[in-house]
Amino acid sequence: MTIASSAEPRLRRIVVAGGGTAGWMAAAAIARTMGRAVELTLVESDAIGTIGVGESTIPPLVNYNRLLGINEAEFMRATQATFKLGIAFEGWKEVGHSYFHSFGITGKDHWSAGFQHFWLAGRERGHDAPYDEYCLELKAAMQGKFAHLPDNAMNYAYQLDSTLYARFLRAMAEADGAKRIEGKIARVELNGESGHVAALVLENGSRIEGDLFLDCTGFRALLIEDALHAGHDDWTHYLPCDSAIAIQTESVGPAFPYTKAIAHDAGWRWRIPLQHRTGNGLVYCSRYLDRDAALERLLGTVEGQTLTKPNFLKFGAGARRRQWHRNVVAIGLSGGFMEPLESTSIHLIQRAVLRLIRMMPLREISDRDIAEFNEQQHADMLQIRDFLILHYKATERRDSAFWRYCGDMEIPDTLVQKIELFRETGRVFRKNEELFAENSWVQVMMGQGIMPHAYHPIAEKLNDDELARLLETLREQVSKTVAGLPAHAAYVERYCGAARAAAA
Ligand code: FAD
């Protein structure tokens, strides 16, 4: 085996363009992991600012922070975070109906068949307890309770202020040696021979050279698209919402440990309780609702005094065709965006950053790494895309033109297979490292009204008494554990109360 000569220059200079959640998540992780093996520079422009939304997360962020050695209570205090146990979906299947997508495991799976098979068999034998009754996280969320449990028995994520998160990560990255430059990128300079990005030229004329560039410039995609034309796949026909208005309000009542996604006749709205305020937003499709009506609708539904001016956002569902192209890696919104319904954007940032660190080049960029990175990243996005489409397609709502469009639209074959397999057999298979596991698909499919016509024959192995005992024991375990949990708001206050810390 030959290793390239140590005399050959190392690929050392990493330049991060943009300092939103993506830029600082990337900078903090690379600085902490790679240390002095790289020279890390981040350029951002206060004049341009960040998108200013992105408050709801999913459980893998807990691990990301652990990986970076972040103290959880400190991080939650700094970002005014609360715990999140899932998402309550209201009005998605039909008006007046609601269901919960929790982060937990429902019941107990057998290796051959998920718990839903046993629950379905139970239903056939007269057990009428809802599927929800068997999920700890779901029951705790609905009762506004939370605690860390031994062996991480309660699966959770965070609801946080993303601007504060970026600030927190910036302090970490700078302490770990990352250099920050304030300035506006005016031009991206290419190497005439290789076509690689050679430098970022700022408005004040300074040049920032690099070997590897991370495009974290948000929807602008200054490097990956404007300079390198990596291409874009459009998914707006599957995910038609293209606009949002976000606004922050004062909290009314204690923060609940979950995000609300409430459907309306042309999209949905979110409600995310943090320690010091509540995040609200209305997501809609501009073909069916105009901006003024959307604002009126949002303002008419928020609770509590508004704290900010409305933040109007436009977007289109889709993904950059090549997420890594030449010496540029797109991370964050520059790589693509699917609406925030299942809080997957920050997660995609995390996946891209960790993937890139695993594939960090030594002396030159390998086309094999690029191909691998792009394939893995693309697979993540397609799987998430299908999961999001499910929420729109599997609806019984026909009360507006928007919902009629969603109910009637064509969907990808991959999603048809998933839905029809579940409908016919009750089975869900997780492909590769798919983000949403069986539990998520089952909760959302049944929540949206897709009920299996059959279950796994293994459930027939249990006689009536055995099945009754199994179901009863699992249900009792959940309700006993939930009864012993403290209120979420009180737990947050004790564990990481930001207001108290500020006053102290
Ligand atoms: P940005 O925040 O836009 O940052 C871009 C950076 O690039 C800024 O620092 C800017 O100053 C810099 N920049 C741009 N141009 C230049 C230039 N010329 N010179 C210098 N610097 C420049 N995600 C979730 O996970 N959960 C959610 O609940 C969620 N909700 C969302 C709701 C909506 C309506 C939208 C649109 C998105 C939501 N997201 C959510 C996505 C989330 O906001 C983003 O994934 C996240 O904030 C990362 O953004 P970013 O850093 O890529 O881009």
CA–centroid distance, 44 to ligand 1, in Å, is 12
323 shares its domain with 291: no
pLDDT at residue 504 is higher than 90: no
229 shares its domain with 321: yes
442 inside domain: yes
Helix (H, G, I), strand (E, B) or coil at 421: helix
Q: State the residue range of the domain holding 280.
A: 243-314
pLDDT at residue 500 is higher than 90: no
229 shares its domain with 261: no
pLDDT bin (cut points 50, 70, 90) of residue 272 is: very high
Report pLDDT for 372: 97
CA–CA separation, 497 and 494 (whole Å): 6
Sequence-distant (6+) residues with CB within 8 A of 471 are 118, 119, 122, 127, 129, 134
Alpha helices (runs of H) in 257-366, residue ranges in sequence order: 291-301, 345-358
pLDDT tens, residue by residue, 131-151:
999 999 999 999 999 999 999
The 3-state DSSP composition of the chain as helix, strand, coil percent (nearest 5) reads 40, 20, 40
256 shares its domain with 325: no
CA–centroid distance, 216 to ligand 1, in Å, is 8
CA–centroid distance, 313 to ligand 1, in Å, is 11
Report pLDDT for 2: 57
80 inside domain: no
How high does pLDDT run on average in the chain?
95
Atom index in ligand 1 nearest the CA of residue 22 equals 51
pLDDT tens, residue by residue, 281-340:
999 999 999 999 999 999 999 999 999 999 999 999 999 999 999 999 999 999 999 999
385 inside domain: no
Residue 419 main-chain phi, psi, to 5 deg:
-65, -45
Region 243-272: what's the mean pLDDT? Answer: 97
216 shares its domain with 328: yes
Region 97-122: what's the mean pLDDT? Answer: 96
CA–centroid distance, 55 to ligand 1, in Å, is 11
494 inside domain: no
Sequence-distant (6+) residues with CB within 8 A of 228 are 195, 197, 325, 326, 328
Closest C-alpha residue for ligand 1 atom 4: 20
Report pLDDT for 431: 82
Report pLDDT for 424: 98
pLDDT bin (cut points 50, 70, 90) of residue 5 is: low
Given a contact cutoff of 8 angstroms between Cβ atoms, the answer to whether 318 and 309 are in contact is no
286 inside domain: yes
Report pLDDT for 142: 97
142 inside domain: yes
Question: Across the strands, what pairs with 218?
Answer: none
Report pLDDT for 4: 56
Amino acid at 469: R
Region 403-426: what's the mean pLDDT? Answer: 98
CA–centroid distance, 455 to ligand 1, in Å, is 43
CA–centroid distance, 338 to ligand 1, in Å, is 13
Atom index in ligand 1 nearest the CA of residue 283 equals 34
Atom index in ligand 1 nearest the CA of residue 183 equals 20
144 shares its domain with 27: no
CA–CA separation, 419 and 392 (whole Å): 13
Residue 349 main-chain phi, psi, to 5 deg:
-65, -50
109 shares its domain with 169: no
CA–centroid distance, 260 to ligand 1, in Å, is 21
Region 90-99: what's the mean pLDDT? Answer: 98
The whole-model pTM stands at 0.96
CA–centroid distance, 167 to ligand 1, in Å, is 14
Q: Which of 16, 48, 298 to mutate to test the pocket of ligand 1 (most atoms within 8 A of CB)?
A: 48
28 shares its domain with 166: yes
pLDDT tens, residue by residue, 440-468:
999 999 999 999 999 999 999 999 999 99
CA–CA separation, 261 and 458 (whole Å): 36
Q: Which residues line ligand 1 (CB under 6 A)?
A: 18-23, 43-45, 48-51, 53-57, 162, 184-185, 216-218, 220, 222, 244, 246, 281, 313, 315, 332-333, 340, 343, 345-346
CA–CA separation, 307 and 272 (whole Å): 14
pLDDT at residue 433 is higher than 90: no
pLDDT tens, residue by residue, 180-225:
999 999 999 999 999 999 999 999 999 999 999 999 999 999 999 9
290 shares its domain with 402: no
Q: Tell the residue number behind the tokens 């239903």, with chain if given.
A: 123
Report pLDDT for 434: 87
Region 386-410: what's the mean pLDDT? Answer: 98
Q: Tokens at residue 92, please? A: 């998605």
Report pLDDT for 10: 84
Region 402-430: what's the mean pLDDT? Answer: 97
84 inside domain: no
97 inside domain: no
Atom index in ligand 1 nearest the CA of residue 333 equals 52
Report pLDDT for 274: 97
171 shares its domain with 37: yes
286 shares its domain with 402: no
pLDDT at residue 344 is higher than 60: yes
136 shares its domain with 175: no
Atom index in ligand 1 nearest the CA of residue 186 equals 18
CA–CA separation, 80 and 22 (whole Å): 19
Region 331-352: what's the mean pLDDT? Answer: 96
Q: How many domains does the chain have?
A: 3
pLDDT at residue 502 is higher than 60: no
CATH code at position 188: 3.50.50.60
